[in-house]
C-alpha cells in the first residue's frame, strides 16, 4: 500500500490546512496556506525537495507505514507532507517532548540537588536523592568529605547510611513497557542514581558508593539501607550536578532512557503533580499546553519512548520542534544547535552507528541534527536540517511495521538527506 501523501503544488488540500493549523497553534508562525484555502507556492529549492521526497518516500525499504512532515522553521510553510497527522509509535522521538518540557519548566540553568542530612542520631547519615540524573561519583565524594568532617568532629567514627529516594514512589513498569527492558534498556525509575549506573536499585547502589567514599575519609559504615529522613533532620552538605541544558543535550544526543525518565518525573514534581507515571503524563500534557502545543491526553505514557503504547504524529513532533526554534522562547534556545545528534558526527547519528558516512547520505554530514528512534518494527528520525537555500527545515519521519531495521534506517537517512537538498 503506498504512503498517503499531501504535497504542495498550489492546490487546495484539507490535510495541509489541518497541518497549518497545528503549526500555527504551536508556533504563531506565518501560515503556509492562503486565505482562499490554496497552498502557497513553494520556492524552487523547496519544490525540488518536495518532488524528490514524493519519489523517495515510496521506496520499498521504507515499508508501507511511513508518515512524515517537512516545514520551514521560520515561516511554518509545509514543504512536504505524507500521512502527517497519522499517529505512530514514536520510539525515542518522545525524548524531544521530555527535553522541551524540562527546559520550559526549570530553565536551562537549573541544577538539581543531592543532600547529605542528619539522621535520628549522629550515628545515622541520610543521603537524600533530589532527582539529579547527572549525579557523579565526584559529587558524592564532595558530600562524603563534608559529612566526614561533620561526624568526626562530633566524635562519631562509625555511622549507618540511610538512603532517602522518597521523592519518587516505588518503581513500576510504564504502560507499554516490557519486563525485559529492566535493566537492559532502562533502570527502575528512582530519584537517586550515580554515574548513570544501570541497576535494579540505583538508590542503594548510590548509597553504597557514598559509604565507600565515607570510609576513605576515615568514617566506618556499618550498613546501607533505604529509610526516609526524619522530619527534624538538618543539612550537612549538598551538591549539584550539571545544568539542565547540559543534561537535556546529553539525553537527546545519546538517547539516554534513564535520564529521560528522571527528567520526566521531575517535571511532575515541579508542577505539583504526583511523581507517578500518571502524574508525569499529566504534567507532560499540561506544560506543552502552556507552550501552545496540544497532544492528546493519554497518547504518551513515558518520557523515554520505550512504551509501545505511545502514539504521536509527525505534525505533533514538528510542532514541538517549531516551539524550540521560536526565538520568543529563549529557555529552549539550547535545542537549536548542538543538543541533538549531528549527522555523521555525534551521538546516535555518529560514526559508531555508521550513519551519513557513505554515499548518497554523506553529503548531509553536519547539516542535520536529529533525534533518532528505534524499537522492534519502529524507526523514527525527527529534527532540523539546513536546506540548500540556507534556511532551517524541520522534519519528522515516523515509521511502524518496518521491513528491516538496518535497511529502513538507511532509507530514512536518505529522506533526511533529501531535506538538505544535497542529494
Among 185, 219, 242, identify where a domain stops: 242
The least confident of 34-43, 116-125, 205-214 is: 34-43
CATH assignment at residue 257: 3.40.710.10
pLDDT at 408: 96
Find the domain containing 403 and state its range: 5-108+249-420
Does the pLDDT of residue 170 top 60, yes or no? yes
pLDDT at 40: 83
Question: Within this chain, do residues 326 and 237 fall inside the same structural domain, yes or no?
Answer: no
Does the pLDDT of residue 39 top 70, yes or no? no
How does pLDDT run across 356-385, given as a tens digit for each residue?
999 999 999 999 999 999 999 999 999 999
User: What is the percentage of the chain residues whose pLDDT exceeds 70?
Assistant: 91
How does pLDDT run across 269-310, given as a tens digit for each residue?
999 999 999 999 999 999 999 999 999 999 999 999 999 999
Question: Within this chain, do residues 257 and 208 fall inside the same structural domain, yes or no?
Answer: no
Does the pLDDT of residue 7 top 70, yes or no? no
pLDDT at 343: 98
Asked if residues 2 and 55 have their Cβ atoms less than 8 Å apart, the reply is no
Distance between CA atoms of residues 339 and 255, nearest Å: 11
pLDDT at 23: 53
Question: Within this chain, do residues 207 and 267 fall inside the same structural domain, yes or no?
Answer: no
Question: Within this chain, do residues 70 and 208 fall inside the same structural domain, yes or no?
Answer: no
Question: Within this chain, do residues 202 and 286 fall inside the same structural domain, yes or no?
Answer: no
Among 207, 225, 242, identify where a domain stops: 242
Spell out the alpha helix ranges (H) of 238-338: 244-254, 257-270, 277-290, 314-324
Average pLDDT over residues 79-93: 97
Question: Within this chain, do residues 278 and 197 fall inside the same structural domain, yes or no?
Answer: no
How does pLDDT run across 68-85, given as a tens digit for each residue?
999 999 999 999 999 999
Asked if residues 127 and 227 have their Cβ atoms less than 8 Å apart, the reply is no
pLDDT at 38: 58
pLDDT at 26: 46
The label of the residue with cell 506565518 reads 30
189, β-bridge pairs: none
Question: Within this chain, do residues 95 and 129 fall inside the same structural domain, yes or no?
Answer: no
Quick one: pLDDT band at residue 118, thresholds 50, 70, 90? very high
How does pLDDT run across 8-20, given as a tens digit for each residue?
333 233 344 445 5
Question: Within this chain, do residues 272 and 406 fall inside the same structural domain, yes or no?
Answer: yes
CA distances to 37, 48, 70, 418 from 80, rounded to whole Å, are: 17, 10, 5, 11
Task: Please choose, from the candidates 137, 19, 119, 134, the residue with its C-alpha nearest in 3D space to the C-alpha of residue 70.
Answer: 19
Q: How many domains does the chain have?
A: 2
Distance between CA atoms of residues 125 and 108, nearest Å: 32
Question: Within this chain, do residues 262 and 195 fall inside the same structural domain, yes or no?
Answer: no
CA atoms within 13 A on the CB side of 379: 21
Q: How would DSSP label each residue in 17-63? A: HHHHHHHHHHH-PPPSB-TTSBBPPPPHHHHHHHHHHHHHTT-GGGT
Question: Within this chain, do residues 260 and 224 fall inside the same structural domain, yes or no?
Answer: no
Quick one: pLDDT band at residue 121, thresholds 50, 70, 90? very high
Average pLDDT over residues 404-408: 93
Give the three cell numbers for residue 335.
535545542
Q: What average pLDDT does the structure give for the chain?
A: 92
Distance between CA atoms of residues 258 and 189, nearest Å: 7
Question: Within this chain, do residues 175 and 273 fall inside the same structural domain, yes or no?
Answer: no
How does pLDDT run across 225-270, given as a tens digit for each residue?
999 999 999 999 999 999 999 999 999 999 999 999 999 999 999 9
Question: Within this chain, do residues 399 and 267 fall inside the same structural domain, yes or no?
Answer: yes
pLDDT at 19: 53
Among 242, 276, 307, identify where a domain stops: 242
Distance between CA atoms of residues 246 and 133, nearest Å: 11
pLDDT at 399: 97
pLDDT at 22: 53
Distance between CA atoms of residues 232 and 121, nearest Å: 11
DSSP designation for 296: -
Q: What angle do CA 3, 66, 259 make, to 5 degrees?
A: 165
CATH assignment at residue 233: 3.50.80.20
Quick one: pLDDT band at residue 132, thresholds 50, 70, 90? very high
User: What is the percentage of the chain residues whose pLDDT exceeds 90?
Assistant: 90
Amino acid at each position: 500500500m503506498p504512503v498517503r501523501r499531501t504535497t504542495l503544488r498550489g492546490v487546495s488540500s484539507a490535510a495541509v490546512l489541518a497541518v497549518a493549523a497545528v503549526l500555527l497553534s504551536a508556533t504563531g508562525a506565518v501560515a503556509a496556506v492562503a486565505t482562499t484555502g490554496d497552498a502557497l507556492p513553494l520556492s524552487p529549492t523547496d519544490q525540488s525537495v518536495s518532488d524528490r521526497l514524493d519519489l523517495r518516500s515510496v521506496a520499498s525499504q521504507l515499508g508501507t507505514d511511513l508518515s512524515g512532515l517537512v516545514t520551514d522553521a521560520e515561516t511554518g510553510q509545509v514543504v512536504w507532507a505524507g500521512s502527517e497527522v497519522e499517529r505512530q509509535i514514536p520510539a525515542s522521538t518522545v525524548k524531544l517532548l521530555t527535553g522541551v518540557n524540562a527546559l520550559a519548566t526549570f530553565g536551562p540553568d537549573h541544577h538539581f540537588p543531592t543532600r547529605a542530612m542528619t539522621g535520628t542520631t549522629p550515628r545515622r547519615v541520610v543521603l537524600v536523592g533530589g532527582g539529579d540524573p547527572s549525579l557523579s561519583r565526584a559529587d558524592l565524594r564532595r558530600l562524603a568529605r563534608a559529612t566526614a568532617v561533620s561526624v568526626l568532629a562530633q566524635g562519631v567514627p562509625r555511622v549507618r547510611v540511610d538512603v532517602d529516594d522518597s521523592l519518587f514512589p516505588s518503581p513500576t513498569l510504564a504502560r507499554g513497557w516490557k519486563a525485559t527492558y529492566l535493566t537492559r534498556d532502562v533502570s527502575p525509575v528512582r530519584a537517586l542514581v550515580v554515574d548513570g549506573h544501570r541497576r535494579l536499585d540505583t538508590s542503594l547502589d548510590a548509597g553504597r558508593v557514598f559509604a565507600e567514599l565515607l570510609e576513605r575519609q576515615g568514617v566506618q559504615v556499618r550498613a546501607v539501607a533505604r529509610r526516609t529522613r526524619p522530619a527534624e533532620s538538618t543539612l550537612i552538605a549538598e551538591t549539584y550536578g550539571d545544568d539542565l541544558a547540559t543534561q537535556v543535550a546529553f539525553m537527546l544526543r545519546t538517547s539516554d532512557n534513564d535520564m529521560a525518565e528522571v527528567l520526566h518525573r521531575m517535571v511532575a514534581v515541579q508542577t505539583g503533580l504526583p511523581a507517578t507515571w500518571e502524574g508525569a503524563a499529566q504534567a507532560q500534557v499540561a506544560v506543552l499546553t502552556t507552550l501552545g502545543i496540544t497532544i492528546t491526553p493519554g497518547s504518551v505514557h513515558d518520557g523515554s519512548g520505550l512504551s509501545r503504547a505511545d502514539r504521536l504524529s509527525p505534525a505533533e513532533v514538528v510542532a514541538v520542534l517549531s516551539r524550540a526554534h521560536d526565538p520568543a522562547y529563549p529557555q529552549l534556545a539550547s535545542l537549536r544547535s548542538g543538543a541533538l545528534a549531528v549527522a555523521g558526527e555525534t551521538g546516535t547519528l555518529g560514526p559508531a552507528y555508521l550513519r551519513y558516512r557513505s554515499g548518497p547520505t554523506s553529503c548531509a554530514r553536519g547539516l542535520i541534527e536529529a533525534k533518532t528512534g528505534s524499537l522492534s518494527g519502529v524507526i523514527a528520525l525527527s529534527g532540523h536540517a539546513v536546506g540548500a537555500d540556507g534556511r532551517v527545515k524541520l522534519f519528522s519521519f515516523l515509521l511502524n511495521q518496518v521491513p528491516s531495521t538496518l535497511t529502513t534506517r538507511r532509507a530514512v537517512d536518505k529522506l533526511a538527506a533529501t531535506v538538505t537538498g544535497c542529494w
